[in-house]
Amino acid sequence: MPAHPVVVPVFDGIQPLDVTGPFEVLSAANHLVDGDGYDLALVAREPGPVVATSGLQLVATQALPESGPIGTLLVPGGCGSRSAVADAEFVAWLGRAAARAERVASVCTGAFLLAAAGLLDGRRAATHWRWAGALAAAHPAVDVRPDAIYERSGRIWTSAGVTAGLDLALALVEADHGAAVAQEIAREFVVFLRRPGGQSQFTAPVWTEPAPRPSVRAAQDLVHADPTADLRVPVLAAHVGMSERHFGREFARLVGCPPGDYVEQVRVDTARRLLESEPLLVGVAAARAGFGSAETMRRAFLRRLGVPPDHYRRRFGAAHGS
């Protein structure tokens, strides 16, 4: 079989990992399959270098093609995607290229480009968690999934930010060549074939920014410093010199969730990291993360992650052991 043509349009201000991550995964597949791998091409408005956000230069070998087969149209993101979205000619080319592509994929804010071309209307889509709200606001016809690592909606694939491009590319390889090939690449790259717990971005740490009010920020610091401590609302409020009612109201206003929810999320994140890094019994991880019992932790995992702790541990162990 002929190689599957992969066309990657690049532009100034691109996030280089959105390109190099999938590029390396697909290139690795070429060493594991016989004659039906991927023919990868970087294309741009004009052949030559484009400058990434970091200053790294990527070289497009050809201009945006107006003819010829496209197996996968892979659209990266980056700060430059804002300018690219405003480039009517580029967006129009995306629409034409997508029409003749077998499938279309985006990494990170590349989803904004697909949405601008009308390719995501009525579909589920993922993007970087920081920009999910903006994508939903700018394109209300798109069903934005802010927690997804990647989403497949028909022939359209979208992924979250930066390293999620690896997850997306591994999923494409698995769809094309099977799990064994994708798993071999994942082992070589020392990454998950499928992140524990499925396709949720829960594998990242708690991303809540420190509250601007020093007293609330002090309470956050206390939670992170020792998740096993007594972190009930009366204790936290007393620690920062506020009444319970006022503390709870200010914490929720500035952090975005009640103090109890925040504590639970930090403890879940702590337990998750323990289960990832050490061969612990669930009950031991529960104690070291500040949960009163393994059952309490199990309920928190189901609420936050959608999987119980032992399932999480088994999934990680399988990937780690391989």
Residues assigned a catalytic role? 108
Tokens of 199: 């396709």
Instruction: Single out the residue of 55, 53, 58, 76 nearest to residue 6, CA to CA.
Output: 76
Residues 6+ apart with CB under 8 A from 45: 11, 63, 64, 89, 90
Element (H, E) at 203: none
Element (H, E) at 170: helix 164-177
Determine contact, residues 33/181, Cβ cutoff 8 Å. Answer: yes
Residues 12, 99, 156, CA angle at the centre, nearest 5°? Answer: 75
Determine contact, residues 57/49, Cβ cutoff 8 Å. Answer: yes
Burial of 55 (0-12, 13-18, 19+ CB in 10 A): exposed
Residues 6+ apart with CB under 8 A from 53: 13, 14, 15, 16, 78, 79, 80
Instruction: Count the Cβ atoms, other than its own, within 10 Å of residue 143.
Output: 15
Amino acid at 282: V
Tokens of 96: 């034409």
Burial of 225 (0-12, 13-18, 19+ CB in 10 A): exposed
